[in-house]
Chain A
Amino acid sequence: MASTQTPSAIAAPRSPYARRRTTRGNYELYSWVFMRASGVVLVVLIFGHLFVNLMVGEGVHAIDFAFVGGKWSSPFWQVWDLLMLWLAMIHGTNGVRTIINDYAQKDSTRGVLKVLLYLAFTIVVVLGTLVIFTFNPCPPGAPAELLPSICFSN
């Protein structure tokens, strides 16, 4: 049709239906593949986590501050929990980003929602990573009545 070559006289009201300029790049491809891959890894990580926390040994009754503190003193569980945190957060954030893209009709709404989403993502990931690596169940100089029993075992 010739109308695409010349700007239409009714261009303004039509604009919401016109496709905007194209974006090339493999970003959406990688994000699509990542969702599938991280989903599979997360199934293993999460069920492993649930099994170790809730079923092994004394099971759910063993969970207390000392149990978590003990787990995080091992580099294996640090890496496990770190992977779980990062993969779950990126997977979830990417999923919500997709939902925002699908449902937000106005660019302004979309922008605000995405800023809030990325802010929440950053806070949780930074705080979580910090805790996993700097966690010390017995900080030196803390009042004795606030410390768990494991700090006095030896």
Chain B
Amino acid sequence: MTAVLENPATEPKAGAVPSFEVTLRIRRYNPESEHGEESTWDDFTVQVHGTDRVLDALHMIKWEQDGSLTFRRSCAHGVCGSDAMRINGRNRLACKTLLKDVNPDKPITVEPIKGLPVVKDLVVDMEPFFASYREIMPFLITSGNEPTRERLQSAEDRERFDDTTKCILCAACTSSCPVFWTDGQYFGPAAIVNAHRFIFDSRDEGATQRLEILNDKEGVWRCRTTFNCTEACPRGIEVTKAIQEVKRAMITRAF
């Protein structure tokens, strides 16, 4: 990639990554409107390579064309969960989505994730999302004296909740949920996934409290199993399955 940039006149070397032009259609907010309800689309065309991700194209736009374009990113390698956005109508991480995979022949639409107030351009206020995350108490709850060693757990017990430990809190699932879009009162898949991680942990003793919290009017019972969350999850967590397991735990507890 750098070789091409340093020697633009020379022919591409053997094995060089082919480059192509791609247009990004980015939703820009209007600072005069509340929560970015009013917005416009801006088109940017950049020269990219087959190995470039949407985040690389956003960087090129911000650094070379329009410095006012605003988005979040931290690690840029799919772990920090900062750059979830709606790319071609689906929630993805910009740093994990290759441009060649999202049909670069047409303009690629990039929007902020839905259902959360827009702060600027692609940046949303994550506070409502984290508020419901905090409500399910995402920490180990135990009783009695603290052991002097680690709390041991069998491999099978660990396997029980392995899937939901993978969550990076990017909000791709919650902001893909149509129930969450309506009024933002639903706890959202991410909060339930993180509750699941502790409810099914053999070392944790707060399952009853957490189930009690999620038994709320706006808790797991608002899930309509549309599987949007499972499809959106960049970590491949089976989110809808986790929600159903929490539902089942509640029913077996109640009857």
Measuring CB to CB, which residues of chain A are less than 8 angstroms from any residue of chain B?
1, 3-4, 13-14, 16-20, 22-29, 31-33, 101-105
Cα distance A26–B251 when bound, in Å? 10
Q: How far is the CB of A6 from chain B (nearest CB, A)?
A: 13
| B residues 204-255 touching A (CB-CB < 8 Å) | 212-213, 215-219, 221-222, 224, 247, 250-251, 254-255
Q: A23-B216, A103-B182 are in contact. List 5 more A-B contacts (CB 8 A).
A: A14-B125, A19-B184, A22-B213, A102-B178, A102-B179
Does B12 make an interface contact (CB < 8 A)? no
Known: A13-B35, A17-B116, A17-B125. A1 touches B130 (CB 8 A): yes
Known: A17-B117, A19-B132, A102-B224. A24 touches B127 (CB 8 A): no
Interface residue from B134, B212, B218 paired with A4 (Cβ < 8 Å): B134
The chain A residue with its CB closest to the CB of B191 is A19
Contact count band on B: 20 to 34
Q: Which 8 A-B pairs have the closest CB atoms?
A: A28-B221, A23-B217, A17-B128, A17-B184, A22-B216, A32-B221, A13-B34, A17-B117
| B residues 134-184 touching A (CB-CB < 8 Å) | 134-135, 178-179, 182-184
Residues of B within 8 A of A13 (CB): 34-35, 117
Q: Is the CB of B217 within 8 A of A28?
A: yes
Q: Is the CB of A31 within 8 A of B218?
A: no
Q: How far is the CB of B147 from chain A (nearest CB, A)?
A: 31
Q: How far is the CB of B38 from chain A (nearest CB, A)?
A: 14
| B residues 1-59 touching A (CB-CB < 8 Å) | 34-35
Q: Is the CB of B217 within 8 A of A19?
A: no
